[in-house]
Amino acid sequence: MATAPSTAAAAGLPWGPRALIRRARSADEIARLVTLFFALVVVLIAVLLVYQLWTNSAQARHSFGLSFFWNTTWDPVAGQFGALTFVYGTLVTSALGLLIAVPIGLGAAIFLAELAPRRLSDNLTFLIDLLAAVPSVIYGLLGVFILVPLMRTEIQPALKRILGFTPLFQGPAYGIGLLTAGLVLAVMIVPFIISVSREVLLAVPGDQREAALALGATRWEATWRAVVPYARTGIMGSIFLALARALGETMAVTMVIGNNPRISASLFSPGYSIAAVLANEFSEATGNLYLSALVELGLVLFLLTFVLNGLARLLIVLTTGRGTAERT
Amino acid sequence: MNMRKLLAFALLAMLSSAPAWAQNINAAGATFPYPIYSKWFDEYHKLHPNVQINYQSIGSGGGIRQLLDKTVDFGASDGPMTDEQLQQAGFKVLHFPTVLGAAVPSYNIPGVTGELKFTPEAIAGIFLGKVTKWNDPAIAGANPGVKLPADDIVVIHRSDGSGTTYIWTDYLSKVSSEWQSKVGKNTSVNWPVGLGGKGNEGVAGLLKQTPDSIGYVELIYAIQNSLPYGTVKNSSGEFIKASLAGVSAAAAGAAKSMPEDFRVSITNPPGKEAYPISSFTWLLIPAQIQDPAKKTAIKDFLTWMLTSGQQFCEPLAYAKLPKEVVAKEQKAIALIQ
């Protein structure tokens, strides 16, 4: 506490050499500076990334302006480039992935954290963490060789029979397409949701549970009404981690999505995602405008992730009730 | 200043500790000819241990970019550089054809086992999305006796930018004015219909999995994986099954009208035996190379590649250059200064 005034004084002149030397005397200060440097490195990488994407997409930005966002043509021959079909494909597949993965992931996490015997829970969690480490190309191959034929011969015809009256499930069943890509993404992101949500649920203090039980709640009521709301912020975090992975997933998606830039109401139709088109076309892109448009797509993906993350933060702030307010 | 001197000295010592005769040449570009290029560079290195050519198969687009940025000594591309790119280069770039590639129509129709015959009109119609059923007269007319189903055609194309797509769309642009005006030719195009598969293996995988589908794959890939593929009607009206000889014949047919800079498309060439959907792949070499040792090495490699090097083509399933083209290229080597 005796050093507090001098630290404060030094904080006023953070870059002077004397101030630095004086600060460096304290091991704590060294640790602070080193870790601060590492934290800044992360910021620096993000800034450099945006800077590079911004400068290298200059030609496309000047040529197309804002119309890049709603133009649906992607024609490398004519030099016409628009991002909308790719944004659509990226958002639809990610949303489908989340729609399937969130209930499964959350349910599994609740079981593992609250209801399963500890031993079973630990073993299952180990397996789930393994799933999270499987390279995405493996999921892509499984998708192509197992899921795609199954979709074409069984699942899509069945969906067509039952839900064919909605525009979502019409059109020829190729097996590959938006729906299949969403399914593969769901399988890939479920382990993230389970793993992180389980940790968060386990971290909820015991009193929370006991208080609810003491008030006469059943075990499920205690879990659903007291424990899950308390862990809501962390669970949302796990979902948005999963979303980030789904948005940027390249290899597995490009193998099953059909790689055709078009917007169609049917989930059976082939689509295209931003990450997939970058992986497909970057290496053979000749011509500056073409390359620049691809870089701008990268910028759009960055922007998309940024906006969705911002919305997630907002959602957490808005939904955080009194029960969790004291958590920092 | 002292520090800088010390650093320079250390650098010098490091450089001179490497054998003084080692000549490293860096190149980058097309992936399609990578197997034959790496074989050539390897064999050439065995003959001339002092010359080491490092080739990175990063794609034609990357090869052209790196050449223009002067980060490589020469590039390689499956499509010739455009006039715009040549202008942008700021230095003269020479094209040297090395081997030939071809694209073949491969298909999967349940119940049809024989070889299908394709007219240019049928292929263009299918890929434009105008011919939508297998029993369409455009296809059935050329295949009397084959029982074609009345099912919808599923078109499959490459999703990644590739030289194979360049050959395929170059051919379609020549045989169909509608294709030329609507779609055009490039390593990636705005496909009117179809599903995209990544790489030859992606297209082959989709073909295998999707009944009633048609796609195009690189000839070498089709041969090595024994995929079924159809014959294509050439400009003399003959249906030709793609083969290395048929591809070389196409190049020979085009050799007579070959421009001085070798930037030529040989799709749909004259010649009875010529397979119509094929193309050269090129090395892109700066006309002026400053370093005399590098210049000598590159010129010597080109001479060797055009003569003894050709023996390595066919074992790797690449079509050889016809004699007429080799003779022309040997003269062009003198242009490197």
Residue A5 has pLDDT above 50, yes or no: no
Structure tokens at B303: 């001479």
Query: Is pTM beyond 0.90 here?
Result: no
Chain-chain contact of A283 with B59 (C-beta, under 8 angstroms): yes
Considering only A3-7, A239-243, B184-188, which range has the smallest mean pLDDT? Answer: A3-7
Spatial neighbors of B318 by CB under 8 A, at least 6 apart, are B33, B35, B36, B99, B100, B101, B220, B244
Residue B12 is predicted with a pLDDT of 53
Other CB atoms within 10 Å distance of the CB of residue A47: 11
Enumerate the residues of chain B whose CB falls inside 8 A of the CB of residue A261.
190
Per-residue pLDDT averaged across B215-237, rounded? Answer: 91
Residue B212 is predicted with a pLDDT of 93
A173 min Cα distance to partner chain B (Å): 10
Enumerate the residues of chain B whose CB falls inside 8 A of the CB of residue A148.
209
Other CB atoms within 10 Å distance of the CB of residue A7: 14
**Which ipTM value was assigned to this complex?**
0.79
Smallest Cβ–Cβ distance between A144 and the set B31, B65, B205 belongs to B205
Q: What count of residues does chain B have?
A: 337
Residue B31 has pLDDT above 60, yes or no: yes
Chain-chain contact of B159 with A280 (C-beta, under 8 angstroms): yes
Instruction: Name the region of A177 (left: φ>0; alpha: ψ -120 to 50; beta: rest).
Output: left
Spatial neighbors of A159 by CB under 8 A, at least 6 apart, are A169
Residue A14 is predicted with a pLDDT of 57
Other CB atoms within 10 Å distance of the CB of residue B288: 11
Which residue, among B158, B206, B284, would best test binding to A if mutated, counting the most A CBs under 10 Å from its CB?
B206
Measured between CA atoms, the residue of chain A closest to residue B60 is A284
Per-residue pLDDT averaged across B129-157, rounded? Answer: 93
CA B146 to chain centre: 33
Report the 3 state secondary structure along chain A.
CCCHHHHHHHHHCCCCHHHHHHHHCCHHHHHHHHHHHHHHHHHHHHHHHHHHHHHHCHHHHHHHCCHHHHCCCEECCCCEECCHHHHHHHHHHHHHHHHHHHHHHHHHHHHHHHHCCHHHHHHHHHHHHHHHCCCHHHHHHHHHHHHHHHHHHHHHHHHHHHHCCCHHHCCCCCCCCHHHHHHHHHHHHHHHHHHHHHHHHHCCCHHHHHHHHHCCCCHHHHHHHHHHHHCHHHHHHHHHHHHHHHHHCCHHHHHHCCCCCCCCCCCCCCCCCHHHHHHHHCCCCCCHHHHHHHHHHHHHHHHHHHHHHHHHHHHHHHHCCHHHCCCC
Q: Report the distance separating Cα A225 and Cα A163, nearest Å.
A: 34
pLDDT-derived band at B19, boundaries 50, 70, 90:
very low
pLDDT-derived band at A38, boundaries 50, 70, 90:
very high
Amino acid at site A226: A
Amino acid at site A296: E
The model's pLDDT over A307-317, given as tens digits with 9 standing for 90+, comes to 988 888 888 78
B64 min Cα distance to partner chain A (Å): 7
Other CB atoms within 10 Å distance of the CB of residue A262: 16
Chain-chain contact of B59 with A276 (C-beta, under 8 angstroms): no
Question: Cα Rg for chain B, rounded, in angstroms?
Answer: 22
Other CB atoms within 10 Å distance of the CB of residue A46: 12
Measured between CA atoms, the residue of chain A closest to residue B86 is A287
Q: Report the distance separating Cα B65 and Cα B25, nearest Å.
A: 17
Chain-chain contact of B61 with A286 (C-beta, under 8 angstroms): yes
The model's pLDDT over B37-48, given as tens digits with 9 standing for 90+, comes to 999 999 999 999
Smallest Cβ–Cβ distance between B188 and the set A76, A174, A270 belongs to A76
The model's pLDDT over A79-131, given as tens digits with 9 standing for 90+, comes to 899 999 999 999 999 999 999 999 999 999 999 998 899 899 999 999 999 99
Q: Report the distance separating Cα B32 and Cα A156, nearest Å.
A: 37
- Percentage of residues in chain A with pLDDT exceeding 70? 90
Per-residue pLDDT averaged across B72-92, rounded? Answer: 89
